[in-house]
Structure 1
Amino acid sequence: MKRFLVGSLAVVGALSILFVGALVGLLFLGASNKPGVPGQVVLELELDERLVEYVPEDSLASAFGPERLTVRDVVDALERAGGDERVKGLVVKVSGTPGSTAVVQELRDAVKAFRATGKKAVAYADTFGEGDNSTGGYYLASAFDEVYVQPSGELSVTGIALETPFARDAFAKLGVKPRMSKRQEYKAAVNTYTEQTYTAPHREETERFLTSLFGQMVKGIAEGRKLSEEQARAAMDAAPLRAQEALEAKLVDGLLYRDEVYAKVKEAAGGKAELLYLEKYLERAGRPNRTGAQTVALIYGAGEIARGKSGSSPMSGDVTMGSDTVAAAFRKAVEDPQVKAIVFRVDSPGGSYVASDTVSREVKRAREKGKPVIVTMGSYAASGGYFVAMDADKIVAQPGTLTGSIGVFNGKMVTADFWEKLGVNWEPLGVGKNATMYSSDLEFTPEQHAKNEAFLDQVYADFTSKAAAGRRMPVEKLQEVAKGRVWTGEDAKERGLVDELGGFPVALKLAKEAAKLEGPVRVEVFPRKKGAAEVLSELLGEKQGDNSDDEAAAGARVTAPWQPVLEQTRALYRLGTQLGVVGEQRRQVLSAPVPEPTW
Structure 2
Amino acid sequence: MRFVAAIWKLLVGIKDAMVLILMLMFFGMIYAVLSSRPAPIGHGVLALDLDGVIVEQPREIDPIAALAGGSGMREHRLSDIIAVLRKAKDDDRVKAVALDLDRFLGGGQTSLASVGDALDEVRKSGKTVAVYATGYSNDAYQLAAHASEIWVPELGAVAIAGPGGSNLYYKGLLDKLGVTANTYRVGQFKSGIEPFTRNDMSPEARENAQALGDALLETWKDDVRRARPQAGAGLERFLGDPVGAAAAAGGSMSKAALSLKLVDKVGERSDFNSRLAELGGKDEESIGGYKRIALRAYERSLDKHSGPIGVVTIAGEIVDGRAGPGSAAAETIAKSIEDGLELGTLKALVLRIDSPGGSALASERIRHAILAAKKEGLPVVASMGDVAASGGYWVATPADFIIAEPSTITGSIGVYGVLPSFQGTLQKLGIGADGIRTTPLSGEPDLLNGPSPAANALIQAGVEQIYAKFLAITAASRKKPIDEINRIAQGRVWDGGTARQLGLVDGFGDMDEAIAKAAELAKLGKNERGLTYLEKGPDAWTGFLAGLAQDEEESDAAPADALAALGPAPQTLVMRVLGDIERILSGPTLQLRCLECGAYESAPPPPKSESGWRSILLGLLG
Normalised by the shorter chain, which TM-score bucket?
Answer: 0.7 to 0.9
Deviation (angstroms), 1:483: 0.6
Q: 1:592 aligns with which of 582, 591, 594?
A: 594
| 1:105 to 1:574, Cα distance in 2 relative to 1, 3 A | closer
Deviation (angstroms), 1:184: 0.6
How far apart in 1 are the matches of 2:267 and 2:38?
35
Aligned to 1:306: 319
**Greater Cα shift, 222-231 or 585-594:** 222-231
Specify the code of the residue in structure 2 equivalent to 1:116: K
How far apart in 2 are the matches of 1:443 and 1:159?
42
Deviations 1:125-158 (A, max 9, x none): 1232xxxxx1221122112222111122111113
Q: 1:193 aligns with which of 192, 196, 203?
A: 196
After TM superposition, list the pairs within 5 Å mapping 1:58-77 onto structure 2.
60=63, 63=67, 68-77=75-84
How far apart in 2 are the matches of 1:341 and 1:87?
35
How far apart in 1 are the matches of 2:589 and 2:35?
50
Is 2:138 aligned against 1:127? no
Specify the code of the residue in structure 2 equivalent to 1:37: I
Aligned to 1:447: 454
After TM superposition, list the pairs within 5 Å mapping 1:129-208 onto structure 2.
134-208=137-211
Specify the code of the residue in structure 2 equivalent to 1:50: V
How far apart in 2 are the matches of 1:29 and 1:384?
41
Structure 1 length-normalised TM: 0.79
Deviation (angstroms), 1:232: 2.1
Structure 1: segments with no counterpart, 5+ residues: 1-18, 129-133, 313-318, 537-567
Residue 309 of structure 2 contacts residue 346 of structure 2 at CA under 8 Å; is this kept in 1? yes
How far apart in 2 are the matches of 1:99 and 1:262?
26
Is 2:270 aligned against 1:259? yes
After TM superposition, list the pairs within 5 Å mapping 1:169-248 onto structure 2.
169-227=172-230, 229=232, 231-239=234-242, 241=246, 242-248=253-259
| 1:534 to 1:112, Cα distance in 2 relative to 1, 3 A | closer
Is 2:520 aligned against 1:507? no
Deviation (angstroms), 1:123: 1.4
How far apart in 1 are the matches of 2:583 and 2:349?
38
Aligned to 1:9: none
Residue 163 of structure 1 contacts residue 597 of structure 1 at CA under 8 Å; is this kept in 2? no
Give the SS at the match of 1:356. Answer: helix
How far apart in 1 are the matches of 2:158 and 2:339?
49
Q: 1:433 aligns with which of 425, 440, 443?
A: 440
How far apart in 2 are the matches of 1:120 and 1:507?
29
Specify the code of the residue in structure 2 equivalent to 1:149: V
Residue 58 of structure 1 contacts residue 530 of structure 1 at CA under 8 Å; is this kept in 2? no
Q: Quick check: which one's helix share is greater?
A: 2
Specify the code of the residue in structure 1 equivalent to 2:591: V
Is 2:300 aligned against 1:283? yes
How far apart in 2 are the matches of 1:473 and 1:522?
34
How far apart in 1 are the matches of 2:478 and 2:489?
12
Residue 219 of structure 1 contacts residue 229 of structure 1 at CA under 8 Å; is this kept in 2? no
Deviation (angstroms), 1:359: 0.5
**Greater Cα shift, 185-194 or 427-436:** 427-436
Residue 53 of structure 1 contacts residue 70 of structure 1 at CA under 8 Å; is this kept in 2? yes
Structure 2 length-normalised TM: 0.77
| 1:24 to 1:71, Cα distance in 2 relative to 1, 3 A | closer
Aligned to 1:3: none
- The number of residue pairs the alignment matches comes to 526
How far apart in 1 are the matches of 2:27 and 2:173?
63
Aligned to 1:498: 505
Is 2:420 aligned against 1:413? yes
How far apart in 2 are the matches of 1:100 and 1:28?
33
Deviations 1:233-278 (A, max 9, x none): 2222232641111111011111122232233344345779832122
How far apart in 2 are the matches of 1:572 and 1:468?
35
Give the SS at the match of 1:362. Answer: helix
Is 2:118 aligned against 1:110? yes
| 1:395 to 1:250, Cα distance in 2 relative to 1, 3 A | same
Specify the code of the residue in structure 2 equivalent to 1:589: Q
Give the SS at the match of 1:491. Answer: helix
Aligned to 2:39: 35
Specify the code of the residue in structure 2 equivalent to 1:331: E
Specify the code of the residue in structure 2 equivalent to 1:591: R
How far apart in 2 are the matches of 1:24 and 1:491?
50
How far apart in 2 are the matches of 1:260 and 1:533?
42
Deviation (angstroms), 1:93: 1.2
Specify the code of the residue in structure 1 equivalent to 2:594: A
Deviation (angstroms), 1:321: 1.7
| 1:140 to 1:30, Cα distance in 2 relative to 1, 3 A | closer
Q: Give the share of equivalent positions with the same residue, in percent.
A: 26
Give the SS at the match of 2:270. Answer: helix
Aligned to 2:400: 393
Residue 216 of structure 2 contacts residue 407 of structure 2 at CA under 8 Å; is this kept in 1? yes
Residue 188 of structure 1 contacts residue 202 of structure 1 at CA under 8 Å; is this kept in 2? yes
Residue 418 of structure 2 contacts residue 590 of structure 2 at CA under 8 Å; is this kept in 1? no
Q: How much is the aligned-residue C-alpha RMSD, in angstroms?
A: 3.3
Specify the code of the residue in structure 1 equivalent to 2:278: E
How far apart in 1 are the matches of 2:479 and 2:200?
37
Residue 422 of structure 2 contacts residue 447 of structure 2 at CA under 8 Å; is this kept in 1? yes
Residue 428 of structure 1 contacts residue 439 of structure 1 at CA under 8 Å; is this kept in 2? no
How far apart in 2 are the matches of 1:430 and 1:532?
56
Deviations 1:188-211 (A, max 9, x none): 100111122222210110001111
| 1:453 to 1:264, Cα distance in 2 relative to 1, 3 A | same
Deviations 1:291-322 (A, max 9, x none): x6x3322222122212211246xxxxxx4322
How far apart in 2 are the matches of 1:247 and 1:459?
54
| 1:161 to 1:573, Cα distance in 2 relative to 1, 3 A | closer
Residue 158 of structure 1 contacts residue 237 of structure 1 at CA under 8 Å; is this kept in 2? no
Give the SS at the match of 1:479. Answer: helix
Residue 415 of structure 2 contacts residue 463 of structure 2 at CA under 8 Å; is this kept in 1? yes
How far apart in 2 are the matches of 1:251 and 1:592?
35
Deviation (angstroms), 1:585: 7.5
Aligned to 2:565: none
| 1:576 to 1:363, Cα distance in 2 relative to 1, 3 A | closer
| 1:371 to 1:479, Cα distance in 2 relative to 1, 3 A | same
Residue 105 of structure 1 contacts residue 400 of structure 1 at CA under 8 Å; is this kept in 2? no
How far apart in 2 are the matches of 1:24 and 1:173?
53
| 1:505 to 1:197, Cα distance in 2 relative to 1, 3 A | same
How far apart in 1 are the matches of 2:75 and 2:494?
29
Deviations 1:439-485 (A, max 9, x none): 21233433333322222221111001101111232322222221101
How far apart in 1 are the matches of 2:532 and 2:428?
57
| 1:122 to 1:573, Cα distance in 2 relative to 1, 3 A | closer
Residue 52 of structure 2 contacts residue 76 of structure 2 at CA under 8 Å; is this kept in 1? no
How far apart in 2 are the matches of 1:303 and 1:342?
19
How far apart in 1 are the matches of 2:95 and 2:587?
57
How far apart in 1 are the matches of 2:587 and 2:369?
29
Residue 73 of structure 1 contacts residue 279 of structure 1 at CA under 8 Å; is this kept in 2? no
How far apart in 2 are the matches of 1:57 and 1:447?
43
Deviation (angstroms), 1:413: 2.4
Give the SS at the match of 2:599. Answer: coil
Deviation (angstroms), 1:81: 2.0
| 1:170 to 1:210, Cα distance in 2 relative to 1, 3 A | same
Aligned to 1:480: 487
